[in-house]
Amino acid sequence: MEEKLMKKLEAGALNFEAYFSEKALGMKASEIRELLKLVETSDVISLAGGLPAPETFPIETIREIAQEVLEKHADRALQYGTTKGYTPLRLALAEWMRKRYDLPMSKVEIMTTAGSQQALDLIGRVFINPGDIVAVEAPTYLAALNAFRYYEPRFMSVPMDDDGMITDILEEKLRKLKAEGKKIKFIYTVSTFQNPAGVTMSEERRKKLVELAHEYDFIIVEDNPYSELRYSGKPVKPVKHFDDEGRVIYLGTFSKILAPGFRIGWIAAEPHFIRKIEIAKQAIDLCTNTFSQVIAWKYVADGHLDRQIPKIIEFYRPRRNAMLEALEEYMPEGVKWTKPEGGMFVWVTLPEGIDTKMTFEKAIAKGVAYVPGEAFFAERNVKNTMRLNFTYVPEDKIREGIKRLAEVLEEEIKG
Ligand SMILES: Cc1ncc(COP(=O)(O)O)c(C=O)c1O
């Protein structure tokens, strides 16, 4: 029977492609994931991934909490929950954000999501009409571009420097649009320790961004998975802190401060926005994983989160330092890179004319992998950049990886 079926399938009985929607036909697998498949099997040092180090997962704490949850809260934890999320967790997060970020939470509501990635999709669903202009940083988080793309916006890129998005350039662009009778729907920013660039928007620019949102009437989506991972420098308040109109939709996640496998993120925004996003989520998954949420609630409410963050920082800081030192030591002239005070990534810029997609295979041959930068730009118009991750690989491997990469780049620059 099985053989018969196989034969039928092989004979191409169905034209599978013909059944997909036009939108599905337009979807493409993330290039990075495709590239990374090349790396997984070999002994290449991968500075390409974006994963937290598994050594930072608080396994014992999770074991204890899970045990307690099953003993005392199984009726809630194993049941469907409300779409907005497990209320004790939502309250604990509100309190944690108030304390941690000095955020006035009284007018803000929190809902939980399946990671902040789901929040990005929900935001696309709720706010983007085809043709709407969505402003993004250049470069920006690739999977946000992909989540939004499904809803067919037009992207407007805003360049960055070491202080994050250059708000003066944004202002110029907004002014031009206004002269044409147009405006943007929202701006998406990864405000702190940006993925992929590693830079942080200055406080001055945060204030300016909120002012511009008021003046030109748009909303701000602030995606903040990394701000707790600070290895040096002074903390900055989220953009949301400077928002007194309800224009900022804030996204948080447990992925980098607990473990990404829990798939829990949250949205903190005006109740009006939350209500609509909640309706959109209902049709997708009814509710976020309840068992994970109850564990996350205990993790926050019992103070484990506050105790865990310094441990993660101590674990990553030497890795960040090792990468910055190795770049300094090995990189040839003409190569520039960002110096992140936190997060997971360093962004490298090579001399004009070098295409990091073309050098990728040479790097693999030398035993090191990175992510070519092109896909992080909405217009895919910048070729000479790359993203390096410093959280997953130990210090000695980071040093060796950078040394190998520097050799490849030196040859490339010499031509
Ligand atoms: C900027 C940014 N936003 C969102 C996400 C998605 O995170 P989550 O695991 O919460 O879905 C990531 C993950 O790497 C990210 O870097």
Residue 349 CB neighbours (<10 A):
18
- C-beta separation of 113 from 265 below 8 A: yes
Residue 68 lies in a domain: no
* CA 352 to each of CA 19, 293, 356, 409: distance values in angstroms, whole numbers, following the listed order: 43, 47, 11, 13
Same domain as 356, residue 278: no
Q: 368 lies in which domain range?
A: 19-57+307-414
Question: What is the CA 294 to chain-centroid distance, rounded?
Answer: 24
Cα of 148 vs centre of ligand 1, distance in Å, is: 14
124 & 171 share domain:
yes
Which burial class, exposed, middle or buried, applies to 244 when counting CB atoms under 10 A from its CB (0-12, 13-18, 19+)? exposed
Find the 381 Cα to ligand 1 centroid distance in Å: 23
Of 340, 405, 338, nearest in space to 370 by CA: 405
How far from 408 is each of 77, 109, 360, CA to CA, in Å? Answer: 52, 50, 9
Residue 85, Ramachandran bin (φ over 0: left; ψ between -120 and 50: alpha; else beta): left
Residue 11 lies inside a defined structural domain of this protein: no
Contacts for 343 with CB less than 8 Å, ≥ 6 apart: 192, 193, 194, 195, 198, 226, 229
Question: Same structural domain for residues 227 and 87?
Answer: yes
Last residue of a domain, one of 275, 305, 335: 305
Q: Is 225 a member of any domain? A: yes
Residues 201 and 258 in one domain: yes
What pLDDT tens digit does each residue of the chain (415 aa) get? 678 777 777 776 788 889 999 989 888 776 666 767 767 667 899 999 889 999 999 999 999 999 999 999 999 999 999 999 999 999 999 999 999 998 877 778 999 999 999 999 999 999 999 999 999 999 999 999 999 999 999 999 999 999 999 999 999 999 999 999 999 999 999 999 999 999 999 999 999 999 999 999 999 999 999 999 999 999 999 999 999 999 999 999 999 999 999 999 999 999 999 999 999 999 999 999 999 999 999 999 999 999 999 999 999 999 999 999 999 999 999 999 999 999 999 999 999 999 999 999 899 999 999 999 999 999 999 999 999 999 999 999 999 999 999 999 999 998 7
Q: Could you give the CA distance from residue 70 to residue 304 in angstroms, rounded to a whole number?
A: 18
Confirm whether 147 is domain-assigned: yes
| Residue 86 forms part of a structural domain | yes
Q: Are residues 245 and 97 in the same domain?
A: yes
Instruction: From 246, 270, 305, give the residue that closes a domain.
Output: 305
Q: Which of 262, 286, 305 is the last residue of a domain?
A: 305
What does the pLDDT look like over 74-88, one tens digit per residue?
999 999 999 999 999
* Residue bearing tokens 């989540």: 147
How confident is the model at residue 321, as a pLDDT?
Answer: 98
Give nearest CA residue, ligand 1 atom 6.
Answer: 117
Q: Does residue 67 lie in a domain region?
A: no
Q: Hey, which of 117, 199, 264 would you mutate to test ligand 1's pocket, going by the most ligand atoms within 8 Å of its Cβ?
A: 117
Q: In what order do the strands lie in the sheet with 371-372?
A: 336-337, 345-349, 385-389, 371-372
Residue with tokens 């590239």: 35
CATH number, domain of 315, equals 3.90.1150.10
Q: Which atom of ligand 1 is nearest to the CA of 344?
A: 16
What's the pLDDT at 246? Answer: 94
Looking at the domain assignment, is residue 2 inside a domain?
no
> Contact at 8 Å (CB) between 51 and 392?
yes
Q: State residue 32's pLDDT score.
A: 63
- In 114-233 the beta strands, taken as DSSP E runs, fall at 133-138, 154-161, 164-165, 184-189, 219-223
Peptide bond into 196 cis (omega under 30): yes
Question: Quick one: 276 and 380 in the same domain?
Answer: no
Q: Please give the model's pTM, rounded to 2 decimal places.
A: 0.95
Q: How many CB atoms lie within 10 A of CB 177?
A: 16
CA 221 to chain centre: 12
β-pairing verdict for 109-113 and 336-337: unpaired
Query: Which residues neighbour 219 within 8 Å (Cβ) at sequence distance 6 or greater?
Result: 127, 185, 186, 187, 213, 247, 248, 249
Per DSSP, 181 falls in state T
Do 112 and 235 lie in a common domain?
A: yes
> Does residue 374 sit within a domain?
yes
The answer on 354 and 219 residing in a single domain is: no
Compute, in angstroms, the gap from residue 254 CA to the centroid of ligand 1: 10
Q: How far is the CA of 29 from the centre of ligand 1 (A)?
A: 17
* CB crowding 61-96: b at 16 or more within 10 Å, else e: bbeebeeebeeebeebbeeebbbbbbebbbebbbeb
Total structural domains in the chain?
A: 2
165 - beta bridge partners?
A: 160
Between helix 304-330 and helix 290-301 the angle, nearest 10°, is 90
Q: Whose CA is nearest to atom 14 of ligand 1?
A: 50
Rg (CA), the chain: 22
Name all residues whose Cβ lies below 6 A of ligand 1. 50, 115-117, 141, 190, 195, 223, 225, 253, 255, 260, 265
Q: Do 223 and 330 belong to one domain?
A: no
- The answer on 338 and 203 residing in a single domain is no
Whichever domain contains 200, its CATH number is 3.40.640.10
Q: HEC states along 241-306?
A: HHCCCCCEEEEEECCCCCCHHHCCEEEEECHHHHHHHHHHHHHHHCCCCHHHHHHHHHHHHCCHHH
* One domain, residues 297 and 369: no
How much distance in Å is there from the Cα of 37 to the middle of ligand 1? 20
Whether residue 299 is found in the same domain as residue 315 = no
Q: Determine the distance from the C-alpha atom of residue 99 to the mean position of all C-alpha atoms in its chain, rounded to a whole number.
A: 23
DSSP, residue by residue, 90-146? HHHHHHHHHHHH---GGG-EEEEESHHHHHHHHHHHHHPPTT-EEEEEES--HHHHH
- Tokens 């030398």, located at residue: 366
